[in-house]
Amino acid sequence: MKKLLSIALLLCLSFSLFSFAPARQPPPVAKQNVASVTFPITGQTGSKLGTLDYVIDGSSNVPSSITFYLAGTSTQVISRPFTVYPSSANTWIADDLKTTTGITAVLYHSISSWPEYAIEIISPY
């Protein structure tokens, strides 16, 4: 009888252990990017005039203009507006800079999955 009781107890424990399912965690929730770009954005680049400082102004992650200055001074070289690049709703272009600076164009890229931006300065310098 003791043997039968031991086997029955062992079977009951085995079945009860197998019936426990591991706790499931809820699936991860994708977080939407809420970061925004803080303007002005500043930097430096080369040009036919030497090194230039630039300042990009804008708001709400959209650039409005770029202004170039002689490096280390407040002497303005040229200022151009950004317009939406024809083939991309998330890209803006400032062009018509070549005569003054030798820079063909400046592209500003904003992608919703990025918390930041990318700036392309198209120039041989």
Which backbone phi and psi does 7 adopt, to 5 degrees?
A: -65, -45
- For residue 26, the model assigns a pLDDT of 64
Does any domain span residue 35? no
Q: Tell me whether residue 56 is in a domain.
A: yes
Can you give the residue range of the structural domain that contains 78?
A: 41-122
Longest Cα pair distance anywhere in the chain, in angstroms? 104
Q: Residue 89 has what pLDDT?
A: 79
Number of domains in the chain: 1
Check residue 111 and give its pLDDT: 75
Domain contains 7: no
Chunked mean pLDDT (size 10), the chain, 125 residues: 63 59 58 68 97 96 96 97 91 96 96 79 93
4 occurs within a structural domain = no
Question: What pLDDT score was predicted for residue 47?
Answer: 97
Q: Is 19 helix (H, G, I), strand (E, B) or coil?
A: helix
CA dihedral 6, 12, 18, 19 (to 10 degrees): -170
Q: What pTM, to 2 d.p., does this model score?
A: 0.70
Per the domain annotation, does 11 fall within a domain? no
- Can you read off the two tokens belonging to residue 21? 């399912």
